[in-house]
Amino acid sequence: MVLLRRVIGDALRARRQGQHRTLREVSTAANVSLGYLSEIERGQKEASSELLAAICDALGARLSEVLSDVSNTLSLAEGMEGVLTPVGPSVPEQQKVDGGDVQVSVRQDSPLKATLRTTRKRGRDMIYAA
């Protein structure tokens, strides 16, 4: 099962790392604690829409751009057998889907836990989110 908060966190982390910025720099600019921003990026906390907007602003990105990245990742994940549905015994342990600018791979850790890894291509740069 893919959690929306994890995919949002992955997208935010990918943007921050793509800019070679630290958690401290972005947390200060967004006026959010470093620990809380870290929890959001790791998918442990769900950010409010106001907080997401502040983080996006601190990253110099529009909220719609980040949510579009999230939507693209979820769209690819939906097409992968067993990712958004309960796992059956015939589901492979690892799957990959290439959607042009986004590549998604999923490793099934247990029947209720999957690790989603996205790779985004932006021009020549590769931005990785785990």
- For residue range 60-89, list pLDDT tens digits in order: 999 999 999 999 888 887 777 665 554 444
Parent domain of 92:
4-129
The CA-atom distances, in angstroms, between 61 and each of 53, 93, 104, 109 are 9, 35, 22, 33
Give the domain CATH number at 78.
1.10.260.40
**Residues 6 or more apart from 96 whose CB is under 8 A from it?**
103, 104, 105, 106
* pLDDT tens digits, 90-118: 444 455 555 566 666 766 666 556 666 66
What are φ and ψ of residue 122, in 5° steps? Answer: -130, 100
Count: domains in the chain: 1
Q: Which amino acid is at 121?
A: K
pTM recorded for the entire structure:
0.66
Buried b (16+ CB within 10 A) or exposed e, 40-70: bbebeeebeeebbebbbebbebeeeebeebb
